[in-house]
Structures are given as structure tokens and as C-alpha cells.
Amino acid sequence: MSPETLVQDNVAENISNTETEAATTDFDREQFDANVMHTYGRFPIAIARGEGCRVWDTDGKEYLDFVAGIATCTLGHAHPALIEAVTEQIKKVHHVSNLYYIPKQGQLAKWLVEHSGCDRVFFCNSGAEANEAAIKLARKYAHTVLDIAEPVILTAKSSFHGRTLATITATGQPKYQKGFEPLVDGFEYIPYNDITAAEDAIGDLDEGNRRVAAILIEPLQGEGGVRPGDLEYFLRLRKVCDETGILLIFDEVQTGMGRTGKYWGHENLGVEADIFTSAKGLGGGIPIGAMMCKKFCDVFEPGNHASTFGGNPFACAAAIAVAETLEKENLLHNVVEKGEQLRKNLRAIALNYPDLFVDVRGWGLIDGMELNRDVELTSIDIVKAAMEEGLLIAPAGPKVLRFVPPLIVSSDEVEQASETLSKVIQALV
């Protein structure tokens, strides 16, 4: 055996041993709970490793992952393109701060501009930060362009925009706001998909009562129950904003980067935003967020907003790998195809239990299955039972199941998930 072959065999054996050890790692839950703040209601498994659309816990149990880090692991787990990109980048430089030009940041910004209707990009680390940037930009635009002294941003009821103080205020769900009062001034809530309510909230500008500076809204509500936007509503919303000068802001944190079968969720509605945000799937699991805008509303100046880590070389390398792989592997086609397959299967299951389910809805690979509110069974009950059978899915509220697998999911994996879910529901009812 040649030295080269021996080295290769040793490397392969080391990888195999490492994976085996990782899959059976001892996990001390008591120690974890003693040292980590209790800000999450965690399910009782600890994930040790992943590959493709599958993950393994510390006991070695395998799961089919239809959560993908909550719509974040665009390319699944351990994708070769992502591994290569971050490995090569960490060997060069991983962080320098925005005191200097970052070539990878410029490269990623160019891709985002070319694949969207935006003209400028600001980089940060998360969806909440991206939405904070959008809120600040809208407020400065209100002061400097619209001449509004106390600007109001309209957001939708049942929305979700983040966990910072400003973004939980923007979030139209009181359960996230309780205990954190006083909330940030300048937000009002309107029903989703209700254009009359939006127009009423804006008011009659002829009477000189201009106060609404922007409308911040999700093209599809994720945490609010996987509820797609109504086409006519969004077309009318765009028209109203054009007529009044109000900024239209889309929160694309969960629906961006191919999740809906198009690069951006708002493309399903045929409208463009003045500002929109992205995170989650942008880096495929490496933290990065972006706030993008049209040139006309880019009123930020040096010192107005910043992020130490935002758009650093490491995160941008990951995001570029995700972006390029979306194109090279034609993943948008896969999202559309597998999304249709998944919804067809979910509707078939729902038809078998007409008293249990009331709706199946979604775009691409962000799909929801709504339970009848009159039944005792909750989404958490089904999520837990599915986990026992080796399928990871997520709740979107107490009565909606959410399915957001990696965009590389195969037809066989969709069938496996559907069969497991059907088995689980049969056992529960």
C-alpha cells in the first residue's frame, strides 16, 4: 500500500470515527440547564451532527429534518459547497470589521442587487437586526423626506419581526410583548390581508394628518401560522404606497433565498418593496442578515447605523456559497416541485381526517397544516409524536404544523416525511 493510499484511508477512518463519536456524545442535560438561561422551551433531544436532510442526536438516533434550523439550513447539513467555502475563508481572514472594505461583502451585495429589485445593501447578523435597520431607515426617511415629526409604522396582527425591543413592538402578537413594557412608540397594527383596514389607518392625507411613514409586512406570515399574502391585497398596498409616498417594507427573513420557489417571497405577489430584509436562509446556517433598499430611500449616512460583525468575510463567504449553489443546482425548481408534492400529500392526509384539519397552505417549501381549533390536539402534540418517530417538524402557533425542510430535499424524503406524519396522526386519533 502506497503512503498516499494509507494517508487517505487514515483520513477516511478518522472522519468515520469522528462521526460515530459525535453521534453518541454524552450529553449532560442537568449541567446544561444549570448554566444556560431558560429562554427556550426546548424539545428533549440534543443534535450532534447532520448530513443532507438528516440529523443525529447524541444517542445516535436519526431524524429526517423538516425544520432546517427554522427555515435556515438552505442547503441542508454539511453541504460540500458550504464546507469548502467556510474552510477556505477561515484559512485567510474571518473578521476585520467594517472599518475597512471587505471584498466578499461587495461580491455578495452585487449578487443580491442583481437578483432583486434593490439598489443598496446593509449587512448585519440576524433577521431582527435587519428589521431594526429597516425601521431606522424608515424613520430617518420620514424625518428627512416626508417631514413627519412622529412617524408611525404599520405592521400586521399575527406578524413576527424579531425579539429586540423595537421588533417585538413591531410584532403584532401581544404574547411576545408581555413583561417588556413600555414598548417602543410609533407602531400600529392592522389585520393581515385587509386593505380597508390599511387605508383607514393611513387616513385622509388631504386633511394634513400625514403620520404613517411605512408599512412593514411579511409576504407570507411564518410564525403567524404560515399564511400567504393575498395577491389583490398586496397589489393594492403597493398602489396605496405609491400614491402616498409611504414606504413599503417586506420582512423576507423566513421567505427569502428560494424558500418559496422564487428568490424572494414577494415575487409570488408580483410586487416590489422599497425596503426588504433577509436573514435565516441567506447564510445557510451561518449568521448573517441583510437590509436592502431602493436608491431613492437610502438616506443613511456614515455613523447612522452600524454592525461590528455584519457582513464579515466568513459570513459572506457562506452566503455566496448558498447563492451560487441555488443557481448551480437549480434549487428553485426543486423547491417548486417538492413543495407541490408535499402539499399534495398533506392535503391527502387532511382529507382522511376532516374533523381534525381545516387547511393546508404555503408556497414552495414553507407549508402549514392547520388543526381545527375545536379539537383538543395541538401542534405541539403532533410535533412531539413525530419526533418520537424520527421526523422533525415545527409548530407555527398552537394549531398549525410547519414544514420547512432544506431546499435540497428529495422526492423520497418528502414521501418518508408524509408517511411518518400519517402514521403519527393515526396513532394520536
Residue 51 counted as domain residue: yes
CATH number of the CATH domain containing 214: 3.40.640.10
- Examine the fold and report which residue of 328, 344, 379 is the final residue of a domain before the chain moves on: 328
Distance CA 346, CA 226 (A): 14
Same-domain check for residues 216 and 131: yes
Q: Mean pLDDT over residues 264-292, rounded? A: 98
If pLDDT is split at 50, 70 and 90, which confidence band does 111 have? very high
Same-domain check for residues 185 and 93: yes
**Residue 302: is its pLDDT beyond 80?**
yes
SS (H, E, C) the chain: CCHHHHHHHHHHHHHHHHHHHHHCCCCCHHHHHHHCCCCCCCCCCCEEEEEECEEEECCCCEEEECCHHHHCCCCCECCHHHHHHHHHHHHHCCCCCCCCCCHHHHHHHHHHHHCCCCCEEEEECCHHHHHHHHHHHHHHHHHHHHCCCCCEEEEEECCCCCCCHHHHHHCECHHHHCCCCCCCCCEEEECCCCHHHHHHHHCCHHHCCCCEEEEEECCEECCCCCEECCHHHHHHHHHHHHHHCCEEEEECCCCCCCCCCCCCHHHHHCCCCCEEEECHHHHCCCCCEEEEECHHHCCCCCCCCCCCCCCCHHHHHHHHHHHHHHHHCCHHHHHHHHHHHHHHHHHHHHHHCCCCEEEEEEECCEEEEEECCCCCCCHHHHHHHHHHCCEECEECCCCEEEECCCCCCCHHHHHHHHHHHHHHHHHHC
Active site residues: 160, 251, 280
Q: Mean pLDDT over residues 297-324, rounded? A: 97
**Residue 299: is its pLDDT beyond 60?**
yes
If pLDDT is split at 50, 70 and 90, which confidence band does 210 have? confident
Residue 15 counted as domain residue: yes
**Residue 283: is its pLDDT beyond 80?**
yes
Same-domain check for residues 249 and 369: no
pLDDT for the residue 24: 57
Q: What pLDDT digit, counting tens, does each position of 100-109 carry?
A: 999 999 999 9
**Residue 68: is its pLDDT beyond 60?**
yes
Number of domains into which the chain is organized? 2
If pLDDT is split at 50, 70 and 90, which confidence band does 40 have? very high
Percent with pLDDT over 90 in the chain: 92
Same-domain check for residues 101 and 235: yes
**Residue 26: is its pLDDT beyond 70?**
yes
pLDDT for the residue 208: 58
Distance CA 406, CA 67 (A): 8
- Is 130 within 8 Å of 277 (Cβ atoms)? yes
Question: What's the grid cell of residue 183?
Answer: 414598548
pTM of the full structure: 0.92
- Examine the fold and report which residue of 328, 347, 378 is the final residue of a domain before the chain moves on: 328
DSSP-derived pairing of the beta strands 47-51 and 54-57: antiparallel
Lowest mean per-residue pLDDT among 17-26, 53-62, 350-359? 17-26
**Residue 369: is its pLDDT beyond 50?**
yes
CATH number of the CATH domain containing 27: 3.90.1150.10
Higher pLDDT, 21 or 296: 296
Residue 151 counted as domain residue: yes
**Residue 366: is its pLDDT beyond 50?**
yes
Same-domain check for residues 220 and 239: yes
Written as one letter, the residue type at 373 is R
Residue 226 counted as domain residue: yes
Same-domain check for residues 351 and 422: yes
Residue 389 counted as domain residue: yes
pLDDT for the residue 343: 98
Same-domain check for residues 307 and 410: no
Percent with pLDDT over 70 in the chain: 93
pLDDT for the residue 187: 98
Q: Mean pLDDT over residues 418-428, rounded? A: 98
pLDDT for the residue 206: 59
Q: Mean pLDDT over residues 360-382, rounded? A: 97
pLDDT for the residue 205: 67
**Of 82, 77, 116, 94, which Cα lies nearest the Cα of 319?**
82
Residue 275 counted as domain residue: yes
Same-domain check for residues 274 and 236: yes
Question: What's the grid cell of residue 48?
Answer: 450532534
Tell me the residue range of the domain where 182 lies. 82-328
Same-domain check for residues 305 and 176: yes
Lowest mean per-residue pLDDT among 24-33, 155-164, 295-304? 24-33
Q: Mean pLDDT over residues 245-266, rounded? A: 98
pLDDT for the residue 28: 93
Same-domain check for residues 46 and 114: no
pLDDT for the residue 207: 56
**Residue 170: is its pLDDT beyond 60?**
yes
- Examine the fold and report which residue of 280, 310, 328 is the final residue of a domain before the chain moves on: 328
Residue 77 counted as domain residue: no
pLDDT for the residue 209: 66
Residue 87 counted as domain residue: yes
Distance CA 220, CA 250 (A): 10
Distance CA 10, CA 226 (A): 47
Same-domain check for residues 313 and 338: no
Average pLDDT, whole number, for the chain?
93
Q: Mean pLDDT over residues 14-36, rounded? A: 68
pLDDT for the residue 204: 74
Same-domain check for residues 343 and 257: no
